[in-house]
Amino acid sequence: MAGRYAIQASAERSILPDVLEKLQIRPQDKLLDIGCNVGALLIPLSYLVQGVTGIDHPSCLEKLRLRAQGDNIQLLGGAFSDLTIKEQFDKILCYSVLHYLSDEAEVLCFIFKALKLLAPGGIALFGDIPNQSKKDRFLRSESGKAFERQWKELIKTEAGNNHLQIELSPDPNLVRFNDEFLLQICRSCRADGFEAYIYPQPSHLPFGNTREDVVIIRSA
């Protein structure tokens, strides 16, 4: 459901430690997880923070409720862009979400709406962003060429084993990220008084060679 493959299951387990480090999670934190899906990150994070609010489609939240019913978990169904939220949060997580928006203007509106909910001194992580420029550089390298050959064989095997057709081409109706747009996001956030940084993903994450994270901090 997050656009990853079964063959990446072991690599997925490395996502949580990376998120914990970049968000600097503390026991007293109030966390907002935008696009929490069925709780792959929300559930373990709920044990590490004071409270967590998850937002996603009601069908996702229905499955999440069957998996976790902690007293410190609040779930809001609907599209984040359409919701009115008055609470502030110490940490905001939005992982594997931004590249499902339609264009750059929608991405910037989405990010700034989230940042309005960030408490002073808070940290927001917009993670797992596919950067086409980074991907192009990687695929031009010798290690990238070798990886691509191996990867194509792996997903062909997975598709055959599961009788699936795996689509490799990007959806033309969705926004595409590159170096310039990621830098534009950071410039826009900094112009609005935030600190903003682009962080690489460790290569052992599911798409670590081609994706990056944006960390945004509100001054205390």
In a domain, 70, yes or no: yes
146 occurs within a structural domain? no
Tell me whether residue 61 is in a domain. yes
Q: Note whether residue 150 is domain-resident.
A: no
User: Sheet holding 195-200: strands in order across?
Assistant: 73-77, 51-56, 30-34, 89-95, 118-130, 211-217, 195-200
- Digit-coded pLDDT (tens) for 28-82: 999 999 999 999 999 999 999 999 999 999 999 999 999 987 899 999 999 999 9
143 found inside a domain: no
Q: List the domain range (segments joined by +) for residue 208.
A: 6-130+172-217
User: So what's the pLDDT on residue 62?
Assistant: 95
Domain count across the chain = 1
Instruction: Compute CA 73 distance to the chain's CA centroid, rounded to the nearest angstrom.
Output: 19
Instruction: Give the CATH number, domain containing residue 176.
Output: 3.40.50.150
Q: Would you say residue 40 lies in a domain?
A: yes
Residue 142 domain flag: no
Calpha distance 220→216 (Å, rounded): 13
Please classify residue 59 by burial: count the beta carbons closer than 10 Å to its beta carbon, then call 0-12 exposed, 13-18 middle and 19+ buried. exposed
Instruction: Tell me the backbone φ, ψ of residue 94, rounded to 5 degrees.
Output: -140, 95
Which pLDDT score is estimated for 165? 45
Mean pLDDT across the chain: 92
Residues of the chain short of pLDDT 50, as ranges, are 1, 163-167
Residue 147 lies in a domain: no
